[in-house]
Amino acid sequence: MRLLLISNSTNAGEPYLKYPIGEISRFLGEIREVVFIPYAAVTFSYDDYERKVQDRFDEIGIRVRSVNHYEDPAAEVRHAQAVVVGGGNTFALLKTMQQYDLVEAIRRRIMAGVPYIGWSAGSNVACPTIGTTNDMPIVEPQSFRGTGAVKFQINPHYTDAHLEGHAGETREVRITEYITANPDVTVVGLREGCMLRLEENDLQLIGPRPMRIFHYGEPTREVNAGDNLSFLL
């Protein structure tokens, strides 16, 4: 498998997709066209999303072809050189992926070795379920099941912040609730500006911040870029 799972599309104060575009280029290598899944967009059109991604991918000479232009999106995925899934609302993304039978189509392409890139919601749907998304369930998918390309769960945009005067739960509390209800599942808190790259059996953390590891009954710990992550595979 070849996966590039990115926490967030945009760092604060930077242009869209600017920080990960170099790694995206290295990951794709000689590939010149990708199939794009835009269904996480809610407040703007799929065409606008495609243009936004294409503007950045123009810098690395790659054509972005969005599946919303085709009657059979799954057929486009089955013939894709690489699959890219954008961020937005994870529930909207998964519901529409299910509608067009894309969950299984993407899973099969991933297992065949076709490169997969996802950011935010696009990283969530690479997990066994979308249960560790941060998003509001604005629509109801058939199930929470993702492609299961990785065995662990990702919480993208992971933050340690607890706003002054805010009495609600922290992200750590929410994830602790998740692993208590799902004690066999490991959750990784992927901070902004970071990504996970999986090539064959080599999983690497890329980025300037450590990644938080949550597993029921074990102390929460952090790993850094360069650390051995084989325990997640």
Grade residue 160 by pLDDT with cuts at 50, 70 and 90: confident
Q: Of the residues 9, 66, 123, 135, which is catalytic?
A: 135
CA distance 8 to 97: 20
Residue 13 lies in a domain: yes
Task: Indicate whether 183 belongs to any domain.
Answer: no
CATH number of the domain where residue 23 is located: 3.40.50.880
The reply to whether 72 belongs to the active site is no
The count of structural domains within the chain is 1
pLDDT band at 162 (very low <50, low <70, confident <90, very high): confident
Backbone angles phi, psi at 57, to 5 degrees: -70, -20
Q: Could you list the residue range(s) of the whole structural domain that residue 101 is in?
A: 2-150+190-209+222-232
Quickly state the pLDDT bin for 165 (edges 50, 70, 90). confident
What strand order describes the sheet that includes 187-191? 153-158, 187-191, 211-214, 221-223
Report the predicted TM-score, pTM, of the whole model to 2 decimal places.
Answer: 0.96
In a domain, 38, yes or no: yes
pLDDT for 202 beyond 80: yes
159 in a structural domain: no
Catalytic, 25? Answer no
Looking at the domain assignment, is residue 173 inside a domain? no
Token pair of 68 as six digits: 């919303």
Catalytic one among 25, 101, 157, 162?
A: 157
User: b/e string for 167-181 if b means 16 or more Cβ within 10 A?
Assistant: eeeebbeebbebbee
Task: With respect to residue 88, please indicate whether it lies within any of the assigned structural domains.
Answer: yes
Q: Point out the catalytic residue in the list 7, 66, 120, 123.
A: 120
For the question of residue 135 being annotated catalytic, the response is yes
Examine residue 216 and state whether it is found in any structural domain, yes or no: no
Q: What is the mean pLDDT of the chain?
A: 97
Tell me whether residue 164 is in a domain.
Answer: no
pLDDT band at residue 97 under the 50/70/90 scheme: very high
Q: What is the mean pLDDT of residues 68-93?
A: 98
Residue 95 C-beta-side C-alpha neighbours within 13 Å: 13
pLDDT grade, residue 208 (50/70/90)?
A: very high
User: Among positive and negative, which fits the CA dihedral 138, 143, 148, 152?
Assistant: positive
